[in-house]
Amino acid sequence: MRTSAIEKRGPLPLIFVGTTVAAAACFAVFGASDSGQNEGNAHESATDTVDAQGVPDSAIEPRADVTLATGASGRNYLKLSLTGLTSAGSSSEANVPALQLGSHDPSRRGFTIQNAELVLTGAVDPYFTALASVVFVESPEGESEIELEELYATTTSLPYNLQVKAGHFYTEFGRLNAQHPHYWDFVDAPLSHSRMFGPDNLRSTGARVSWLMPTSFFSELSLAVQNAFGETLTSFGSVAGESVFGRPIVDRSVDDLGDMLYVPRYAFALDLTDNQTLLAGASAALGPNGTGPDGRTSLYGLDLFWKWKSPRAQQGFPFVKVQAEGIERRYRTDRPRSMFEDGAAYGQVVWGFRRGWTAGARLDRMAGDAGPVPDPFLEERTRSSVNVTWFPTEYSKLRLQYNHDARSLFEDANSVWLQLEIILGAHAAHKF
Amino acid sequence: MRTSRSILTALLILLPCLAEAGGGLKVVATTPDFAALIHAIGGDGVSLKIMAKATEDPHFVDARPSHIVSLNRADLVVESGADLEAGWLPPLIEGSRNKELLPGGAGRVLGSAGVRLLDVPEVLDRSRGDIHAQGNPHFLMDPLNAGIVTRRLTEHMCRLDPASCPSFRENLSRFERTLDERMLRWTAALAPHRGASIVTYHNTWRYFAARFELVADTFLEPKPGIPPSPPHLASVIGRMKQTGMRVILVEPFQSRRTAEKVARHTGATVVDVCQFPGGLEGTELDYFALMDANVSAIARALGGAGPR
C-alpha cells in the first residue's frame, strides 16, 4: 500500500528509461526483421529500417516489400502501438497517493507519468489472436516499474458461438475494470474500482469462456476462472503481509478448486432507436481471501452504458454517453471470523458537444465497513469530478479535470489535473 | 442454486426460438455503398444489414453490439478495406465468433481488392494527417470501380449460394448495362466542364474527379482528418479567388457552415453531395440514383458558376 510521495527522481530521466525499455523490447521482437520499410513510427526506431527523416521520399518504395510489424493494418504480422499518458497538476492534499488510489492516477503534486503502454496484437494462426501489453508506470515514490499487464490469446474458431480467452488478463467484471487507461473518460480511476479491485484493477492469470447467445439482440454469458492470489487481487487472496479491513493477509496454499477466483457475467445490448444503444450487465466475483483458510469474498456488480450519437456524426461527434456501475462486497474473514460489507458506485455523463471536444461529469462514492484502523482505502468518501477534453486527432488528447473529494477520516481536498495522451503506431479499435 | 439452474434451463430452451430464422444469403455491408451494390445483385432474396449510416462519417462508426449479432449470423461481410473500418470493424469480427469472416475467410470480401487505389502515400507520417497507408478508400465514386466491385461481389455470392447464381448473374448483366448507359449520360453531363476545379471538404472526390476529368485537389481540411483552421481557410479563399473555383462539395456529416463561410467570401456555390446511397433523398440502396444526384448537382453548380 502506498505511503507518501517522496520525489526521488524527476519525470524526465524516467521518460528516457521508459523509452529505452520500449525500444529494447521492440528490438527484441523485431531484431530478426530484415525489411526496409517505414510504416510504423515505433517500429522505425528499433529496426534497421530506412529513416523517414533522413532519406528523400523518392528513395522509398512503399509497396515494394512487407514489414513484420507496423502501425498500419494489412501487410504485416503484428500491430504495434505505444500509448503515453502524462499529467500535471496539484491538490490541496499533500499526500496525493492517499487521495488518488489508482496506480494509473496522478500520484503527486507536479508531473506524473501515469502510464506508458506498449501493446502488440495480431493473429497467431487461424485459431488464435493474441495481445501483449507491457506497461511502464512511475510509483508515487518516483521509482519506475515495468510489468507485463496483459498477455492472452483468444480463440477465433470454436463452434457453438463459444470463445475462450486464456493467459493473464483484466477480469471482465462490469465495464471499466477491463479497460486500459486510454479508454477512460476521466483523468483517474473511480474510487469504486480502486476500493473493490485495488490500485491496478482486478486482473490475474486464468481462462474465460464466453457464449454469444442465439437471441435476436446481443446477449452474452461468460465465466472466468483465474488465480485468486497476487497483488492485483486485493479483495481476494492478495499478498501475504498486506492487510485488508485491518486483518493481516497470511500465506495460504491453493488446495482445491474452491481456492480459485470465479467470475460469471451476463451482458446484453439493445438498440433503443437508430441512434441510441443501451448495454447493461451483471457480474459476480467469488473466491477465497487471504485472511485464512476460511476467508471468502463475494463481489456483485451491475453496470449500465447508454449512448446517443448524432446520425450526422462527423468523426463521431456529437454524442452523449451515460455510464454507471455499482459494486457490493462481502468480505468474510477467518481467525477471528467476522463479516465486512461495503459498497461503491460511480455514475458519469460525457457530452461530445462538438467535433473533438467533450465535457464530462462524474459522481463517485464508496462507503461501508472500514475495519478498526483508519485506512484511506476504506474511509467513507465522495468524489465529484468535472472535466473538458480536447482531441486534436484520435491520436492525442488534452484533458483538464477538477476533483472535489469529501472524506470522512481526512480533510476534504480540491485537485486540478491536466493530462496529455499520445499514441504512436497503430490505434486500437474501440469496442462499444 | 436450484432457482438459478431452472432459470438457466428455461433460457436454454427459449432462446433458440427468439433467434431470427430466414432463407437466402445473409450479408453485412460496412457502408451503404456496398449494400447498394449487393442489393442490385441479390435483390430482396438477400437479407442485408448495414453498419454505417449514410449520413455519418465512415471512419468513426460505433461498434454497436447489435453488429456482433448480425456478423455472427452472416454468410458474407463486405468491407472497403484500406483502413477505412480499422477503428471499429476488428473487435466486431472478433466478437462475432464467425470464423468464415476472418481475413481470408470465404465470407470476407475486401471491397478494395482488384481496384487500383489512388493517393498511396510515399511515406507514412502522421504529421501529414490521417493518411491511409494503402491509399484513398473512397474509390466507389468512380463508376467503373463500382463495376469491378460488383463483378467481384457476384462471384463471392455465387460461391456461397450456387442455387441463386443464375439470377445473380442476370442481375449483374442488367447492372452492367445500366452502368454503361449511365456512364455515357454522366460523362456527357460533365464534359462541358472538363478541367474545372472543385473544392471538397475531405479528399473524398479524387476518384470521381479523375474519371470525369475534373480537378479536386483543394480541401477545406488542411490535412486529412484535421478540422479546417482559419489560416487554412483564408488560403483556400485566396486560391479560389485567384483561379476562379466556384463549387464546394459537402457531405451530410461535414460542416456545411464552414463551406458556407468560404462561399460567402468567394461567391461560390455549396453543393450537397454524398458518397453513400441514402445520404441524399431518394437514393436509398440505389447506386445509380445516388450518382445521378451527385452528377447533376455538380454539373448544375459548375454550369451556373461560369465567370461573372
Chain A residue with CA closest to B133: the answer is A72
Which residue among A52, A157, A215 sits closest to B125, beta carbon to beta carbon? Answer: A52
Residue carrying C-alpha cell 532519406:
A55
> Is the separation of the CB atoms in A364 and A383 below 8 Å?
yes
Return all residues near A83 (Cβ < 8 A) that are at least 6 apart.
A115, A116, A117, A119, A180, A181, A182, A421, A422, A423, A424
- Among A46, A215, A212, smallest CA distance to A118 is for A46
Percent of chain A past pLDDT 70, that is, above it, reads 82
Sheet architecture: strand order including B26-29: B47-50, B26-29, B76-79, B108-110
Q: Measured between CA atoms, how close is A389 to chain B, in angstroms?
A: 16
What local confidence, expressed as pLDDT, does residue A372 receive? Answer: 79
User: B interface mutation test: which of A77, A212, A303 has the most B CBs within 10 A?
Assistant: A212
Chain A residue with CA closest to B16: the answer is A214
Q: In chain B, what are the domain boundaries? A: 23-112+130-179, 191-303
Binary contact (B86, A62; C-beta < 8 A) = no
- Angle subtended at Cα B299 by Cα B298 and Cα B302, rounded to the nearest 5 degrees: 85
Which residue among A279, A310, A311 sits closest to B65, beta carbon to beta carbon? Answer: A279
Return all residues near A395 (Cβ < 8 A) that are at least 6 apart.
A422, A423, A424, A427, B126
Percent of chain A past pLDDT 90, that is, above it, reads 71
Residue A108 is given by DSSP the state S
Read off the pLDDT of residues A339-376 as tens digits, 9 standing for 90 and up: 999 999 999 999 999 999 999 999 999 999 988 777 77
Which residue among A162, A312, A432 sits closest to B64, beta carbon to beta carbon? Answer: A432
List the single range of A194-208, A243-257, A288-302, B1-15 with lowest mean pLDDT.
Answer: B1-15
What local confidence, expressed as pLDDT, does residue B5 receive? Answer: 61
> Is residue A273 less than 8 Å (CB to CB) from chain B?
no
d(CA A378, CA A359): 30
Chain B residue with CA closest to A271: the answer is B66
User: B interface mutation test: which of A312, A321, A422, A430 has the most B CBs within 10 A?
Assistant: A312
What local confidence, expressed as pLDDT, does residue A48 receive? Answer: 34
- Burial string for B265-278 (b: 16+ CB within 10 Å, else e) reads ebebbbbbbbbbbb
Which residue among B86, B97, B253 sits closest to A312, beta carbon to beta carbon? Answer: B253
Q: A73 contacts in B (CB within 8 Å)? A: 83, 86, 133
B-contacting residues of A 169-228, CB under 8 Å?
212-219
Which residue among B64, B88, B226 sits closest to A429, beta carbon to beta carbon? Answer: B88
Binary contact (B63, A38; C-beta < 8 A) = no
> Is the separation of the CB atoms in B157 and B26 below 8 Å?
no
d(CA A418, CA A398): 7
Phi, psi torsion values for B236, nearest 5 degrees: -65, -45
> Is residue A311 less than 8 Å (CB to CB) from chain B?
yes
Q: A308 contacts in B (CB within 8 Å)? A: none
CB pairs under 8 A between A and B: 146
Give the N- to C-terminal CA distance of chain B in Å, as an integer: 83
3-class SS of residue B253 = coil
pLDDT lower than 70: segments of chain B: 1-23, 304-308
Q: Measured between CA atoms, how close is A395 to chain B, in angstroms?
A: 9
The question of ipTM being above 0.95 is answered as: no
Amino acid at the residue B17: C
- Region B191-303: CATH code: 3.40.50.1980
d(CA A249, CA A229): 11
Q: Measured between CA atoms, how close is B115 to chain A, in angstroms?
A: 15
- The neighbouring-strand residues paired with A229 are A238
Chain mean pLDDT for chain A: 85
Phi, psi torsion values for B262, nearest 5 degrees: -65, -40
- The neighbouring-strand residues paired with B247 are B269
B-contacting residues of A 388-427, CB under 8 Å?
393-395, 427
Containing B243, the helix (H) or strand (E) segment is helix B230-243
What local confidence, expressed as pLDDT, does residue B7 receive? Answer: 56
Q: Is the pLDDT of residue A185 over 60?
A: yes
> Is residue A164 less than 8 Å (CB to CB) from chain B?
no
Would you mind telling me the total number of residues written for chain B in this entry?
A: 308
- Among A203, A270, A264, smallest CA distance to A236 is for A203
What local confidence, expressed as pLDDT, does residue B4 receive? Answer: 57
Residue carrying C-alpha cell 509497396:
A63
Q: Measured between CA atoms, how close is B70 to chain A, in angstroms?
A: 9
Q: Which fold has domain B23-112+130-179?
A: Rossmann fold (3.40.50)
> Is residue A271 less than 8 Å (CB to CB) from chain B?
yes
What local confidence, expressed as pLDDT, does residue A35 receive? Answer: 36
Longest Cα–Cα distance of chain A, Å, equals: 75
Output the CA–CA distances (angstroms, integers) from residue A367 to A135, A337, A413, B267, in the order listed.
31, 21, 18, 64
What local confidence, expressed as pLDDT, does residue A47 receive? Answer: 33
d(CA B93, CA B27): 14
Q: Is the pLDDT of residue A11 over 60?
A: no
What local confidence, expressed as pLDDT, does residue A75 receive? Answer: 66
d(CA A263, CA A281): 13
Give the distance, in angstroms, between the CA of residue B192 and the centroid of all CA atoms in the same chain: 27
Which residue among A40, A57, A431 sits closest to B122, beta carbon to beta carbon? Answer: A57
Q: Which CATH superfamily is domain A11-425 in?
A: Porin (2.40.160.10)
Burial class of residue A184 (count of CB atoms within 10 Å of its CB; 0-12, 13-18, 19+):
buried
